[in-house]
Copies of this chain bind each other. A is one copy, B any other.
Amino acid sequence: MVSGNTLAEIAALIGDVARANILSALMDGRALTASELAWHSGVSPQTTSGHLAKLSEANLIAMTRQGRHRYYRLASPEVAQAIEALMSVASFGPKRHRPLGPKDEALRNARTCYDHLAGRLGIAVADALTEKNYIVLSESAGAVTNEGQRFLCDLGIDLQERRGHHRALCRTCLDWSERRPHLAGRLGAALCARMFELGWVERIKDSRALAVTPTGKSGLEEFFGITEQSS
Protein backbone atom coordinates (compact mmCIF):
# COMPACT_ATOMS: atom_id res chain seq x y z
CA MET A 1 0.00 0.00 0.00
CA VAL A 2 2.16 2.83 -1.21
CA SER A 3 -0.18 5.39 -2.64
CA GLY A 4 -3.21 6.78 -0.90
CA ASN A 5 -5.82 7.12 -3.59
CA THR A 6 -5.02 5.71 -6.95
CA LEU A 7 -6.83 6.16 -10.22
CA ALA A 8 -8.10 2.59 -10.06
CA GLU A 9 -9.33 2.91 -6.50
CA ILE A 10 -11.34 6.03 -7.23
CA ALA A 11 -12.78 4.65 -10.44
CA ALA A 12 -13.65 1.37 -8.74
CA LEU A 13 -15.59 3.29 -6.14
CA ILE A 14 -17.67 4.95 -8.84
CA GLY A 15 -17.85 1.69 -10.74
CA ASP A 16 -20.48 0.04 -8.63
CA VAL A 17 -24.10 0.51 -9.62
CA ALA A 18 -25.34 1.37 -6.15
CA ARG A 19 -22.54 3.84 -5.51
CA ALA A 20 -22.91 5.35 -8.97
CA ASN A 21 -26.57 5.91 -8.22
CA ILE A 22 -25.66 7.59 -4.96
CA LEU A 23 -23.19 9.90 -6.65
CA SER A 24 -25.62 10.65 -9.45
CA ALA A 25 -28.22 11.60 -6.90
CA LEU A 26 -25.75 13.95 -5.25
CA MET A 27 -24.86 15.52 -8.59
CA ASP A 28 -27.56 18.11 -8.09
CA GLY A 29 -25.37 19.69 -5.44
CA ARG A 30 -27.75 19.20 -2.54
CA ALA A 31 -26.96 17.24 0.58
CA LEU A 32 -29.13 14.18 1.11
CA THR A 33 -29.68 11.93 4.11
CA ALA A 34 -28.52 8.35 4.24
CA SER A 35 -32.08 7.07 3.87
CA GLU A 36 -32.78 9.19 0.84
CA LEU A 37 -29.60 7.91 -0.70
CA ALA A 38 -30.58 4.36 0.16
CA TRP A 39 -33.74 4.95 -1.80
CA HIS A 40 -31.81 6.25 -4.79
CA SER A 41 -29.16 3.57 -4.65
CA GLY A 42 -31.65 0.74 -4.94
CA VAL A 43 -30.16 -1.36 -2.13
CA SER A 44 -30.89 -1.74 1.55
CA PRO A 45 -29.99 0.91 4.14
CA GLN A 46 -27.29 -1.29 5.66
CA THR A 47 -25.60 -1.80 2.35
CA THR A 48 -25.94 1.86 1.52
CA SER A 49 -24.29 2.74 4.80
CA GLY A 50 -21.30 0.66 3.83
CA HIS A 51 -21.08 2.40 0.49
CA LEU A 52 -21.30 5.81 2.10
CA ALA A 53 -18.49 4.89 4.45
CA LYS A 54 -16.27 3.91 1.55
CA LEU A 55 -17.06 7.03 -0.42
CA SER A 56 -16.34 9.18 2.61
CA GLU A 57 -13.12 7.36 3.34
CA ALA A 58 -11.92 8.21 -0.15
CA ASN A 59 -13.05 11.82 0.18
CA LEU A 60 -15.50 11.63 -2.65
CA ILE A 61 -18.32 12.73 -0.40
CA ALA A 62 -18.53 14.65 2.86
CA MET A 63 -20.91 14.29 5.78
CA THR A 64 -22.46 16.58 8.34
CA ARG A 65 -24.58 15.36 11.23
CA GLN A 66 -27.79 17.10 12.01
CA GLY A 67 -29.83 15.61 14.80
CA ARG A 68 -30.37 11.99 14.02
CA HIS A 69 -29.84 12.57 10.34
CA ARG A 70 -26.60 12.49 8.46
CA TYR A 71 -26.39 14.62 5.39
CA TYR A 72 -24.08 13.56 2.61
CA ARG A 73 -22.90 15.72 -0.26
CA LEU A 74 -20.20 15.64 -2.92
CA ALA A 75 -16.88 16.59 -1.38
CA SER A 76 -15.79 19.08 -4.04
CA PRO A 77 -16.49 20.51 -7.49
CA GLU A 78 -13.60 18.38 -8.74
CA VAL A 79 -15.52 15.25 -7.89
CA ALA A 80 -18.54 16.56 -9.73
CA GLN A 81 -16.39 17.37 -12.71
CA ALA A 82 -14.90 13.90 -12.80
CA ILE A 83 -18.33 12.30 -12.67
CA GLU A 84 -19.64 14.59 -15.36
CA ALA A 85 -16.67 13.71 -17.55
CA LEU A 86 -17.38 10.03 -17.04
CA MET A 87 -21.04 10.53 -17.91
CA SER A 88 -19.95 12.26 -21.05
CA VAL A 89 -17.82 9.29 -22.03
CA ALA A 90 -20.56 6.92 -20.98
CA SER A 91 -23.14 8.43 -23.29
CA PHE A 92 -20.84 8.08 -26.29
CA GLY A 93 -20.60 4.57 -27.55
CA PRO A 94 -22.43 2.97 -30.46
CA LYS A 95 -24.81 1.34 -28.04
CA ARG A 96 -28.42 1.63 -28.93
CA HIS A 97 -30.19 4.30 -26.97
CA ARG A 98 -32.55 2.98 -24.40
CA PRO A 99 -36.10 4.17 -24.93
CA LEU A 100 -36.28 7.47 -23.12
CA GLY A 101 -39.32 7.97 -20.97
CA PRO A 102 -40.85 11.25 -19.87
CA LYS A 103 -38.49 11.40 -16.88
CA ASP A 104 -35.48 11.20 -19.12
CA GLU A 105 -37.00 13.83 -21.34
CA ALA A 106 -37.40 16.17 -18.38
CA LEU A 107 -33.76 15.63 -17.48
CA ARG A 108 -32.66 16.48 -20.98
CA ASN A 109 -34.72 19.61 -20.93
CA ALA A 110 -33.38 21.17 -17.77
CA ARG A 111 -31.50 19.91 -14.78
CA THR A 112 -28.87 20.86 -12.28
CA CYS A 113 -25.34 19.63 -12.73
CA TYR A 114 -23.75 19.84 -9.31
CA ASP A 115 -24.48 23.52 -8.73
CA HIS A 116 -25.21 24.92 -12.16
CA LEU A 117 -27.71 24.58 -14.98
CA ALA A 118 -27.52 21.89 -17.62
CA GLY A 119 -29.67 20.36 -20.32
CA ARG A 120 -31.34 22.39 -23.03
CA LEU A 121 -31.96 25.23 -20.59
CA GLY A 122 -28.29 25.38 -19.63
CA ILE A 123 -27.25 25.46 -23.26
CA ALA A 124 -29.83 28.12 -24.08
CA VAL A 125 -28.59 30.37 -21.29
CA ALA A 126 -24.99 29.98 -22.42
CA ASP A 127 -26.00 30.72 -26.00
CA ALA A 128 -28.06 33.74 -25.04
CA LEU A 129 -25.26 35.30 -23.00
CA THR A 130 -22.86 34.70 -25.84
CA GLU A 131 -25.29 36.10 -28.40
CA LYS A 132 -25.65 39.35 -26.47
CA ASN A 133 -21.92 39.61 -25.95
CA TYR A 134 -22.21 39.33 -22.19
CA ILE A 135 -19.73 36.53 -22.12
CA VAL A 136 -17.15 35.37 -24.60
CA LEU A 137 -16.80 31.66 -24.92
CA SER A 138 -13.61 31.28 -26.87
CA GLU A 139 -14.24 27.69 -27.79
CA SER A 140 -14.81 25.87 -24.56
CA ALA A 141 -13.62 28.68 -22.34
CA GLY A 142 -15.18 31.82 -21.02
CA ALA A 143 -14.79 35.39 -19.82
CA VAL A 144 -17.36 37.93 -18.71
CA THR A 145 -17.43 41.23 -20.62
CA ASN A 146 -18.06 44.62 -19.05
CA GLU A 147 -21.61 44.68 -20.41
CA GLY A 148 -21.94 41.22 -18.98
CA GLN A 149 -20.88 42.44 -15.55
CA ARG A 150 -23.59 45.08 -15.66
CA PHE A 151 -26.21 42.68 -16.88
CA LEU A 152 -25.43 40.17 -14.17
CA CYS A 153 -25.46 42.93 -11.60
CA ASP A 154 -28.91 44.00 -12.81
CA LEU A 155 -30.05 40.44 -12.37
CA GLY A 156 -28.84 40.62 -8.81
CA ILE A 157 -25.94 38.28 -9.24
CA ASP A 158 -22.84 38.75 -7.18
CA LEU A 159 -19.69 37.18 -8.51
CA GLN A 160 -17.45 37.89 -5.53
CA GLU A 161 -15.03 35.13 -4.79
CA ARG A 162 -15.93 33.10 -1.74
CA ARG A 163 -13.50 32.82 1.14
CA GLY A 164 -10.26 31.21 0.15
CA HIS A 165 -11.73 28.77 -2.33
CA HIS A 166 -10.06 29.66 -5.61
CA ARG A 167 -12.75 28.68 -8.01
CA ALA A 168 -12.80 29.54 -11.66
CA LEU A 169 -15.23 32.30 -12.56
CA CYS A 170 -16.41 30.90 -15.81
CA ARG A 171 -15.76 27.32 -16.71
CA THR A 172 -17.59 25.30 -19.24
CA CYS A 173 -18.77 21.79 -18.74
CA LEU A 174 -19.66 19.38 -21.50
CA ASP A 175 -23.35 18.62 -21.37
CA TRP A 176 -23.82 14.88 -21.56
CA SER A 177 -27.25 15.05 -23.14
CA GLU A 178 -26.68 17.92 -25.54
CA ARG A 179 -23.00 17.38 -26.27
CA ARG A 180 -22.31 21.07 -26.08
CA PRO A 181 -20.75 23.11 -23.31
CA HIS A 182 -22.85 24.85 -20.70
CA LEU A 183 -21.73 27.30 -18.04
CA ALA A 184 -20.10 26.08 -14.86
CA GLY A 185 -17.71 27.72 -12.41
CA ARG A 186 -18.75 30.53 -10.08
CA LEU A 187 -20.79 32.14 -12.84
CA GLY A 188 -22.75 28.99 -13.54
CA ALA A 189 -23.37 28.43 -9.86
CA ALA A 190 -24.46 32.02 -9.29
CA LEU A 191 -26.84 32.01 -12.26
CA CYS A 192 -28.40 28.79 -11.08
CA ALA A 193 -28.77 29.97 -7.50
CA ARG A 194 -30.30 33.27 -8.62
CA MET A 195 -32.88 31.52 -10.79
CA PHE A 196 -33.95 29.50 -7.80
CA GLU A 197 -34.18 32.67 -5.69
CA LEU A 198 -36.28 34.37 -8.31
CA GLY A 199 -38.54 31.35 -8.54
CA TRP A 200 -37.79 30.88 -12.22
CA VAL A 201 -37.10 27.19 -11.84
CA GLU A 202 -38.16 24.51 -9.41
CA ARG A 203 -36.89 21.06 -8.71
CA ILE A 204 -39.00 18.18 -9.92
CA LYS A 205 -39.59 15.71 -7.13
CA ASP A 206 -37.04 12.92 -6.74
CA SER A 207 -34.97 14.07 -9.66
CA ARG A 208 -32.22 16.37 -10.79
CA ALA A 209 -34.66 17.67 -13.39
CA LEU A 210 -35.99 21.21 -13.24
CA ALA A 211 -39.29 22.73 -14.22
CA VAL A 212 -39.46 26.28 -15.56
CA THR A 213 -42.21 28.22 -13.81
CA PRO A 214 -44.47 30.76 -15.53
CA THR A 215 -42.44 33.51 -13.84
CA GLY A 216 -39.35 31.87 -15.16
CA LYS A 217 -40.74 31.70 -18.64
CA SER A 218 -41.31 35.44 -18.84
CA GLY A 219 -38.07 36.19 -17.02
CA LEU A 220 -36.06 34.06 -19.39
CA GLU A 221 -37.71 35.76 -22.33
CA GLU A 222 -37.27 39.26 -20.98
CA PHE A 223 -33.69 38.98 -19.75
CA PHE A 224 -32.27 36.32 -21.98
CA GLY A 225 -34.49 36.31 -25.03
CA ILE A 226 -35.12 32.62 -24.51
CA THR A 227 -38.59 31.74 -25.73
CA GLU A 228 -39.10 28.02 -25.57
CA GLN A 229 -36.63 25.30 -25.14
CA SER A 230 -38.89 22.51 -24.02
CA SER A 231 -39.27 19.49 -26.24
Interface residues, chain A, with chain B CB atoms under 8 Å away: 2-17, 19-21, 23-24, 58-60, 76, 78-79, 81-83, 85-98, 103-104, 107, 136-144, 168-172, 174, 176, 185
Contact = CB atoms under 8 A, between A and B. Distances in A.
B78 A82 contact: no
Given A60-B89, A89-B79, A143-B138, A14 B4 contact: no
For A86, A138, A176, the residue with the greatest tally of chain B CB atoms inside 10 Å of its CB is: A86
Contact of A14 (B8, B79, B144): B8
A170 to B, nearest CB: 6
A166 to B, nearest CB: 9
A109 to B, nearest CB: 14
A11 B22 CA distance: 14
Contacts of A94: 59
A143 B144 CA distance: 13
Contacts of A97: 4
A215 to B, nearest CB: 28
Nearest to A79: B89
Contact of A103 (B2, B9, B17): B2
A182 to B, nearest CB: 13
B141 A3 contact: no
B2 A17 contact: no
A107 B2 CA distance: 9
Contact of A91 (B5, B104, B136): B5
A14 B104 CA distance: 26
B24 A3 contact: yes
Contacts of A176: 3
A95 B11 contact: no
A144 B139 CA distance: 10
B12 A24 contact: no
A89 B82 contact: yes
Contact of A92 (B7, B78, B83, B136): B78
A27 to B, nearest CB: 10
Nearest to A75: B92
Contacts of A168: 139-141
